[in-house]
A and B are shown apart, each in its own frame.
Chain A
């Protein structure tokens, strides 16, 4: 009886882990159906909208004014753009749902990572081919260390130090 119960719970937990993982990597539902693929195909660079990635810890999401800089003219018949415009007219910020995030106890700097020559795609996946943005990887500590531990030996001491990322 106990053994059967144990088996049942093991399967349940395994299922839970799998479903959770699938959910973590799913694209969250957004208030505006923003399409990274179209923007990338149009030749818009990541840094055009996420302009502080090179200069600050946070890459930043573009201001509504920046969106409207193009969309007062471009693709005004698109449904998503019309939703954007309606937010703009009400002077309401779009409540975007975060796709990639780190817990509160983690310090992460986009600036520091881009400076070492990393690309956006290294962590965010091929966003330029994502009609709906989803996390490319589960950004947990093991995944961070996968990369940090592969660095030149003299850097690893620093890059594997807890205080480098834990705040």
Chain B
């Protein structure tokens, strides 16, 4: 990692999230933490029934087998922050694009709501504001001032908690250091009770995420599409050696 005199890190960051399926218990703590951190709206029963829920992270549950030899497996799915993101080229207004740190960005004030990106996304992780979000008073007080409250007609999705990345970087910079490995934690990673989520820099070969990514349990979702996701999954049910 190269630093200039002002301690600003100018080179080579590739943010990735590692999801250890062997630790995930499906408990939904990440889902609520994400709502709280990112001002994710609540749509209510009727709209949720239409599939218009707004969660940025969901825990998919897959049944396998039949009673009594039945199993259920959990898989948290959020924006995969693809390197070759299918959502990006289809946006007519460049509201979604890729940045140098491997983040797939969504710029809300640019978005005009064509929903092309949502259709293009093979992971179906983008959510669309069909209505203006409602926060009956005083629930507005819960809103995080570091995150825009999206309005009707805007597409949104997981940002890897960009505001938390930025906060730690600015604070570390102010203290004259660079953030340590594992210091930056999106809200889901921070709260995960079984420590099943890890966040860090894949370009740093010594980071925890790099080590986990090299393990033999690691895989990515729908690799055949060539999207090169920034979310790395670790298979459940076996040890790491």
Binding site for B on A (CB under 8 A): 103-105, 107, 109, 111-112, 115-116, 154-155, 157-158, 161-164, 166-167
Contact = CB atoms under 8 A, between A and B. Distances in A.
Contacts, number: 50
B32 interface: no
Contacts of B6: 116
Contacts of B103: 163
A153 to B, nearest CB: 10
Contacts of A104: 148-149
A120 B42 CA distance: 40
Nearest to B95: A162
B147 interface: yes
B174 A105 contact: no
Contact of B10 (A111, A112, A155, A163): A155
Interface of B: 4, 6, 8, 10, 97, 99-100, 103, 105, 107-109, 146-149, 159, 162-163, 166, 170, 173-174
A111 B107 CA distance: 23
Shortest Cβ-Cβ A-B pairs, 8 listed: A105-B148, A154-B10, A105-B109, A163-B105, A161-B99, A162-B107, A166-B107, A157-B100
Given A112-B170, A163-B103, A167-B163, 10 more contacts: A107-B146, A107-B163, A112-B173, A116-B6, A157-B100, A162-B105, A163-B99, A166-B105, A167-B146, A167-B162
B109 A115 contact: no
Contacts of A154: 4, 10
Most chain B CB inside 10 Å of its own CB: which residue of A107, A115, A162, A163: A163
